[in-house]
Every structure is written in C-alpha cells, then in structure tokens.
Amino acid sequence: MVKEILLGDNPFLGVSHLAHEKARSEQSEAVGLEAKASVLKAGLEGGVTGYTFSTHRVNLELLEYLSRQYPEVVARLNYYILIPYAQGYVRRANVYGTVGLVKTVIRDIVFKHPVDSLTSALALNLNRLASLFIGMEANPYLKILPSDRVKAILLHEVLTELIMAYSLTKLLHELKRFIEKKLGVGFGLETRNIGQLNKYLEKNNIQVEYVMTPMNPLGYQMAPSKKEAEEAIRKLREKGTKIIAINILASGAVTVEKACEYLKQFKDNIYALAYGTTKPHRAKENAIILRRKLFT
C-alpha cells in the first residue's frame, strides 16, 4: 500500500535524466531559496509527505532556510537522505585525480573524527572509515532536521552498484549497522539495477528496510530488463522491504496519469513514490493525482 509521496531534489540541483538542457532551465527557475521553499509548501498542500534529497550543499542551505523561515514545513515532512552527492565527488576526481580525492576525503574524516579515524586506521578497518564518511556527510542534516522525521539514509546508487559489483558484503553490513545503530535511522539502498540487487541481497541473506528504484511504464533505468525489475520489486516487497519508486514519470517522458496507470498494478508493493519539479503548481497537482489514483 502506498503510504508516502515524496518530492525529490533533482531539479533543484540541475539534474534531469531527460536532458541536461532541461535541467539547466529548471535550475534557473528554482534558483532562490524561497522558490524552492514554495515548491515544498505547494507539495504539502497537495498531499506530499516527505522530501528525498542528496547531501548537496544546496539542500543544506534550503533546509536551514526552511528551519528559520518555515519551521512548520520542516516539522511536517519526512526525510529520506541519499548519501553521498556522487556528482560532486566525480567532479573533484576529474580535477584532483582519484588519489587526490581519496586523500582529501580522508583528511576531512580525520579532521571531523580524529579519534575514531585514528583507531580505524590503526586497525586497518577501512569499512569503519567508510562509516565515518557516511556520518560526516549526514551530520549537518541530522543536526537541523527533527530526529523523528528522518526516516532513512540510503546509499546513493553509485555506492550500491559498486557494492554489488565488488561483492562488498562486509562494507554493506558495516554501513547498515552504523546507520541503524549509531545514527538511529532506517537504512536503504538506491539502485538502477534492481534485478541484480535483489539477487545479491538474496544470495548474501541481507535484509534492508528501504530500496529506492526507478519504476515507470517505459522501463527507463529499470535493469536488467523491465520485466526482471518488476519481478525483483515484488520479491523484495514480499521480504518486507519498503519500495520507494523514483523516476515514475520517466524523467518527464510520460504524464502523471500514464505513470499512475502503470503503478496501479504495483500499489501493494510500493511504500512511497517520488517525483521532482521546480513548479509549485505541478508539485501540488501531481500529489493530488497520485493520492487520488494510488491511495484508494
């Protein structure tokens, strides 16, 4: 049963999976904090229940602004945090090289957690160091958001896919433990390879609370194929995983009505739906349509 409707941050960051051209135009529409705040407020009016975002500084600025100007908005939303903002690290790797990037990240972790990082380094426990990195990324947000409203921290798809590709099961266990026990929030994985993820979790007997993955009538970003992705979603749901469907509009290639027609068959498998927009009226209208079509 669908329980939540989430607004996503991609358009605020200049991300569009349809076209970079569209992303640039959307970003210029929602350039100010007030413009972004009005999207969230309109979404709430339409029935949006949460905000899912990556740890990009734009989101920190927005949430700080909302906390000051609209604390009632912050208090009403649930939060699903994606870590890290991968594109930021890709750009830094382009400039400084991977070794340079790794050194910078380690230096940041040591600066923030001198004792923990030293003990992890001495014990050669790099999985633990990775946890400290997640903590370092999450902490600024956890400080300003109401703790009971932060529902989950999810690993960004790039991390999830690499964990699967290299079978980093110990790392996954460590990050899950850290997020659930130390940070006290739900743990999730974002993926664009849901079929492979289901098999990987099954093989390694790992249960995660949330999985965030694209679901749309075109099968865009659904792998290894649309059919196998749908099957994996059903199987994960049977095992108790809460599915957060993203990219439900196939990056704007389908209408919200078409998306609803498709998602209807999965409404018992989906826990939350997410979409992004820079237009307040769209934020509200989409939420109303999704509620009407999928919450009954």
Partner 1 sequence: MSGSSFSYSRSLLSVLSPELINWDERLSSSELKIAIIGFGKMGLLHSGILNLLIPGVVKAVVDKSFLLTFGASRIIKLIRFYRDIEEMLKKIEPDVVYVTTPTSSHYSLVRVLMEHGLKYIFVEKPPTFNSEQLRGLLSVKKPEQVVMVGFQKKYALTFRHAKLLLENGVIGEVEKVSSYIRSGDILEPFNRFGAMGRGVLLDLGVHLIDLLTWFFKIKGVIRAESKSLYTHVDDIFKAELESYEGYMLAIEASWSNPEYRVPETYIEVQGSHGVIKVTEDYLKVSTSIEHDLLGNRREAAFYKPHYYQGIPPVNLADPEYTIENMHFLESIQEAREPLTSIEKSNETMRLIDELYETAGKR
**Binding of partner 1 by 212 (CB under 8 A):** no
The only residue of 6, 77, 136, 223 in contact with partner 1, by rule CB under 8 A: 223
Question: x/- contact string, 225-264, with partner 1 (CB under 8 A)?
Answer: xxx-x--------------------xx-xx----------
How far apart, in whole angstroms, are the C-alpha atoms of residue 120 and residue 130?
A: 10
**Binding of partner 1 by 118 (CB under 8 A):** no
Which residue's structure tokens are 């413009």? 35
**Binding of partner 1 by 102 (CB under 8 A):** yes
CB 287 within 8 A of CB 47: yes
How far apart, in whole angstroms, are the C-alpha atoms of residue 134 and residue 114?
A: 15
How far apart, in whole angstroms, are the C-alpha atoms of residue 72 and residue 227?
A: 42
Q: Which CB sits closer to partner 1, 253 or 288?
A: 253
Q: Which of 270, 186, 274 is nearest to 233 (CA)?
A: 270
| Side-chain half-sphere CA neighbours of 239 within 13 A | 18
**Binding of partner 1 by 222 (CB under 8 A):** yes
The only residue of 122, 166, 265, 296 in contact with partner 1, by rule CB under 8 A: 166
Q: Please give the residues from 25 up to 84 whose contact with partner 1 meets the rule CB under 8 A.
A: none
Torsion over CA of 119, 124, 125 and 129, rounded to 10 degrees?
A: 70
The only residue of 87, 108, 149, 293 in contact with partner 1, by rule CB under 8 A: 87
Phi, psi of 80 (to 5 degrees): -125, 110
Give residues in contact with partner 1 (CB under 8 A). 13-15, 17-21, 23-24, 87, 90-91, 93-99, 102-103, 124, 126-127, 130, 157-158, 161-162, 164-168, 170-171, 192-193, 196, 216, 218-227, 229, 250-251, 253-254
